[in-house]
Amino acid sequence: MNANNGLPLIAPRVTPVLDPAFRPAVLANRAFRALARSTAGSVTVRLALEQTDGTVSHFTTPILPDSHPQAAGNFTYLERIVKFLLWSRGGFRIHFDGPAPLAAKLAAYYREVPTGKFDSNIVGERMFDHPIEVVHDKALPAEHRSAASLGRHLDGCRIGFDLGGSDRKVAAVIDGKVVFSEETVWDPYFQPDPQYHYDGIMDSLKKAAAHLPRVDAIGGSAAGVYVNNRVKVASLFRGVPPDVFNKRVRDLFLEVRKAWNNIPLEVVNDGEVTALAGSMSLGKNRILGISLGTSTAGGYVNAEGNITSWINELAFVPVDLNPGAATDEWSGDYGCDVQYFSQQCVGRLLAPAGIEVEAGLGLPEKLKQVQKLMDQGDYRARKIYETIGTYLGYAIPHFTDFYDLENVLILGRVTSGPGGDVIIAGAKDVLKAEFPELTNRIAFHIPDEKDKRHGQAVAAASLPTLA
């Protein structure tokens, strides 16, 4: 595969052992930009993504002039760039300063093409209450960051919680010290009545409160997207009918806050809290957390040590530009993170690795089989982890084109055991071979069990600011 709708693709120097057709987005993008910069008459495209609260982020890139023989690649390049921006930064309005025909084609993509319509529905409508719109405008709105600064507030008596798909965790924290923690098994995914979720959350909060002289604030994390404590998109509530979701789930955490006398309460994506916990534990900023679990979760802490209003839904950002790459079963789009950094990736690589498993086996069980084989020194299992490591080695430089990044926090069930070390070693090998300028700039970290248990709780509890 040498091109994607006019965009030249670059074969990697380090080939994933189980995926020779892999064509890293970072190589195609950087080669395309280099070509554009060296071409007379190249065009600068400026983009501004706007959220409903007025937050605006900018991105600028060169493209080729219409007269260039490879100008057909302009749209493919821009569409993949915008997709990364939508799922990492978030927004519903795309301000586009560039050629009018490209702006019109991008607008049509989100109106008419199934994968574009998916992005418009999930990111635009469900997260930011508006379908995606493309505004062709030379006068972009100024960059504007959210004024809120969440996290690192350790004063007082606080409760931190984390809502997972198989258990919910809670901790009581006094001036940054955990005095009580508990994990409770639950099954939220397919519960149609959100009262189940509400009762479970309240049960955990009350157990933690029993170990505090008072409760000054509550902070929590959960998979999904939360804007101003309102639930926008969350897998925890996938079993709730849409009409019930709109009536009860959207404001569920506001209901919880009211039950606790409207004390300060903040709920954010679990990936953000994971990154914040890593930052607090390591004493480092500019950190991107990537969790290789059922899906791919992400979180980011900026240079100032804060989490931001960016959504960081890394499962949907494109990392492979081969149009024949694995597709995400939900969005139908190709080459997205979820097929490269998750249990889905492990399941996808079983056949190329020559590993047969029992028919009908679920992804968690398939992962356990691979981990067991890895523990036994099976070379086939090792190839799976080596392949993921190569993927990661090309994904990290790609992320540095969009994030101010110095530290990468790797976690999740896929990284458990010796396979996690193989993944990181493989990523480092790619950096040395293809991106030597990043070898001393990017540091990899894996949290230990204590950090994962208590660090997450303390970070979640630290989210609200006391009045």
Q: What is the pLDDT of residues 436-448, one digit of tens each?
A: 999 999 999 988 7
* Mean pLDDT along residues 320-324: 97
pLDDT band at 227 (very low <50, low <70, confident <90, very high): confident
Report which of 219, 212, 211, 184 is spatially closest to residue 199, judged by C-alpha positions: 184
pLDDT score of 264 more than 60: yes
Whose tokens are 């356990």? That residue is: 368
Average pLDDT, rounded, for the chain: 94
Those residues whose C-beta lies under 8 Å from the C-beta of residue 34, and which sit 6 or more positions away, are: none
pLDDT score of 334 more than 70: yes
Report which of 310, 198, 301 is spatially closest to residue 254, judged by C-alpha positions: 198
Longest dimension (CA), the chain: 72
pLDDT on residue 151? 84
Q: Which residue has the higher pLDDT, 450 or 37?
A: 37
- Crossing angle of helices 73-88 and 25-37, in 10° steps, is 120
The structure tokens listed for 441 are 């700039």
pLDDT on residue 150? 76
Does residue 408 sit in helix, strand or coil? strand
pLDDT on residue 457? 79
Whole-number CA gyration radius for the chain: 22
pLDDT score of 193 more than 90: yes
pLDDT score of 309 more than 90: no
Please give the torsion angle defined by the CA atoms of residues 126, 458, 200 and 198, in that order, rounded to the nearest 10 degrees: -40
pLDDT on residue 431? 98
The structure tokens listed for 94 are 């795309």
Q: Model confidence over 64-118: pLDDT tens digits? A: 999 999 999 999 999 999 999 999 999 999 999 999 999 999 999 999 999 999 9
Name the most confidently modeled range: 228-232, 279-283, 347-351.
347-351
Residues in the chain: 467
pLDDT on residue 452? 62
Q: Give the Cα separation of 427 and 208 in Å (integer).
A: 40
Those residues whose C-beta lies under 8 Å from the C-beta of residue 150, and which sit 6 or more positions away, are: 266, 268, 306, 307, 463, 464
Q: What is the pTM of this model?
A: 0.92
Which of 107-111, 296-300, 335-339, 405-409 has the weakest average pLDDT? 296-300
The strand pairing partners of 411, in sequence order, are: 291
Over pLDDT 90: what percentage of the chain?
A: 80
pLDDT on residue 467? 74
pLDDT on residue 393? 98
DSSP state of 93: E
pLDDT score of 353 more than 60: yes
pLDDT on residue 453? 59
Provide the 10 A C-beta neighbour count for residue 287: 25
**Backbone dihedral angles phi then psi of residue 25, each to the nearest 5 degrees:** -60, -40
* Mean pLDDT along residues 50-61: 95
The strand pairing partners of 334, in sequence order, are: 327
Residue-wise DSSP of 355-367: ----TT--HHHHH
CA distances (Å), 334 to each of 45, 318, 380, 429, 437, in order?
24, 7, 25, 26, 29
pLDDT on residue 149? 67
- Crossing angle of helices 252-259 and 195-209, in 10° steps, is 40
Domains of the chain: 3-136 (no CATH), 157-273 (3.30.420.40), 279-454 (3.30.420.40)
pLDDT on residue 66? 94
